Chains A and B, each alone.
Chain A
Amino acid sequence: MDLVATLEGKGAATGMPNGAELLALTDAVVLRDFANLDACREAVRAALGDAGLADTAATIGSYNAIVKVADATGIELDESTADMTVDMRADLDLVDRKT
């Protein structure tokens, strides 16, 4: 998976099967893009079926919530996770959070 393409929402460039459809629906829901939401949803359903759509919806739901828990409490990455992702975070030009 191309992580930069993922974070930038360039679904077709992620290298993932159905990346374009999955990220388009993610964007439409999180950004509340009601003009495109129905089309994005049906594209995922056409590609992955009802079960695929439901598991996509669940993941979007989770990451519309867990991020709020983390950001509203100011927790930092666990040491083990931080150690494992040093190179990845450097590639993405992420810096430590300032509180």
Chain B
Amino acid sequence: MTEERISDGTRKGLSAAMERAWQRLARPGTWWTGAERLAIAAETRQADACGLCGARKEALSPNHVEGRHDSLCVLDDVVVEAIHRIRTDAGRLSSGWLKGLLEQGLEDTHYVELVGVVSTISALDAVDLSMGHQQRALPDPVAGEPTRHRPPGARMGLGWLPTLSADDRTPQEPDFFSKYGDYNVQKAMSLVPDEVMGFFDLDTELYFYERELPQRAEQEAGRAITPMQIEMIAARAASLNGCHY
């Protein structure tokens, strides 16, 4: 069944999900305020024009190039380093690099939420660029305090950071496992469960729900390009981004 679309061809469901994502960027998160989340989003865009990031990208190893990032001078240097590397060279990040950031005082919870913000604005901007839309101005921040909830059941064992398994989830945490699946990619940011919920609210419209979930078949039928064409685009984009997952 073909989904309803707005005038530029975008599915209505995707259009609504993107609007929710823009609003989420401006709202207080779990560890960052709305203004801080928008500063992270702005710094993510700034990374594309960073001379240090450009030089590192060309180098055999990013560690061979030293210098200062061309930043907006709003966030701490350690936060800027995290944002710029995730945006421009995520495929060559390492556990040692992350350990260095944490030793400089960046909290693991703040890092995970930052990953979600960088990834969200990267998705939204890539859609606009693909469609030929002007880059959208960031929204105004929404006042309020972060919730600061760390899942007590989160533990090391998957990747470089503590994560939450379905068995260790408490009622204080949203059940993203049932809604979006429990593959590693859904667990990756589970130290900040609301970021998982927000990111996959967008990503399941950009791409698909996991194969086991009932929404998937309807989604595949509603696309204007075939699932194989979608997988081809996904594979190439992942390859260009140096993804190792």
Residues of A within 8 A of B (CB): 1, 3, 6-7, 9, 14, 16-19, 22-23, 25-27, 29-32, 37-38, 41, 48-78, 81, 97, 99
**Contact residues of B with A, CB < 8 Å?**
5, 8-11, 14, 48, 86-87, 90-91, 93-95, 98, 112, 115-116, 118-120, 122-124, 126-127, 129-132, 158-161, 183-185, 187-189, 199, 203, 205-207, 223-226, 228-245
Partner of B203, one of A55, A65, A74: A65
- Residues in A neighbouring B90, C-beta threshold 8 A: 67-68, 71-72
A79 to B236 Cα, complex, angstroms: 23
Residues of A close to B225: CB separation below 8 A = 18, 22, 48, 52, 55-56, 59
**Contact partners of A73 in chain B: CB under 8 A:** 112, 115, 159-161, 188-189
Interface majority SS (helix, strand, loop, mixed), chain A: helix
- Pair B203/A60 contact, Cβ less than 8 Å: no
- Chain B neighbourhood of A52, CB < 8 A: 9, 224-225
In the assembly, what is the distance between CA of A51 and CA of B223, in Å?
A: 8
A58 B188 Cβ-Cβ under 8 A = no
Contact A16 B229 (CB under 8 A): yes
Whether the pair B9, A81 counts as a contact (CB closer than 8 A) is no
Find out whether the CB atom of B203 lies under 8 angstroms from the CB atom of A50: no
